[in-house]
Amino acid sequence: MWQTLIDTLDKLGEVYDNLAALGEKKRSALVVIDMKSLSNILDAEQLLTAKIQKLEQKRLELLRGLSKEDKTLTESTRAKDFYKKAPTSADEKKLLQLHDRLSKNVERVVTLRNNNQILAQCALDAVQGQLNRLSGAAVEPTYSGKGAGVVTHQKNFDFKA
């Protein structure tokens, strides 16, 4: 069971590596507003997040199974303390390495996600600004009751003609 846990943590690390690589590609696509690439990246991200969910579920089941075998381990035991109960010191060392790798990868993916959210919002704002400019919209120097800017639209076309 310990070897299965090692394999699962290793696979999780690989998937998070791939997710981080996609996050960097997404950043490039957002900067140049390449919607086709962005769509492909989002599809690939969706597949990776599904893999992560399955691997996480498997990891939790393994941890529960191992905690049933050793009564000193509970669900509240910290991961590093849990790994110290591995049958061999080589397994313990490998588990700790994989845990550190996974922690760094998760942190990296979260940072990339947060940065990409900012870029996506900026891209949406740029598109909104262009659409407003094309439609003749103007932002008033006041705010609405909800705190948003007041946008007025100039009538450029008479659709009844």
Inside any domain, residue 11: yes
State mean pLDDT over 109-116: 92
User: Looking at per-residue confidence, does 42 or 74 come out higher?
Assistant: 42
Whether the pTM exceeds 0.85: the reply is: no
Instruction: Tell which residue, 55, 99, 56, 52, has the closest CA to residue 78.
Output: 99
Helix or strand or coil: residue 138?
Answer: strand
How many Å apart are CA 115 and CA 141, to the nearest integer?
Answer: 30
Inside any domain, residue 126: yes
State mean pLDDT over 62-87: 78
CA distances from 114 to 46, 79, 118 (A): 17, 26, 7
The two structure tokens encoding residue 102: 């996974």
pLDDT in tens, 135-159: 666 666 665 666 666 666 555 555 5
pLDDT in tens, 28-61: 888 888 889 989 999 999 999 999 999 999 988 8
How many Å apart are CA 6 and CA 144, to the nearest integer?
Answer: 56
Read off the CATH number of the domain in which 113 is found. Answer: 1.20.58.300
Structural domain span for residue 108: 2-153
pLDDT in tens, 10-30: 999 999 999 999 999 999 888
- Indicate the average pLDDT of the chain: 82
Inside any domain, residue 160: no
How many Å apart are CA 157 and CA 132, to the nearest integer?
Answer: 15
The two structure tokens encoding residue 68: 């049933």
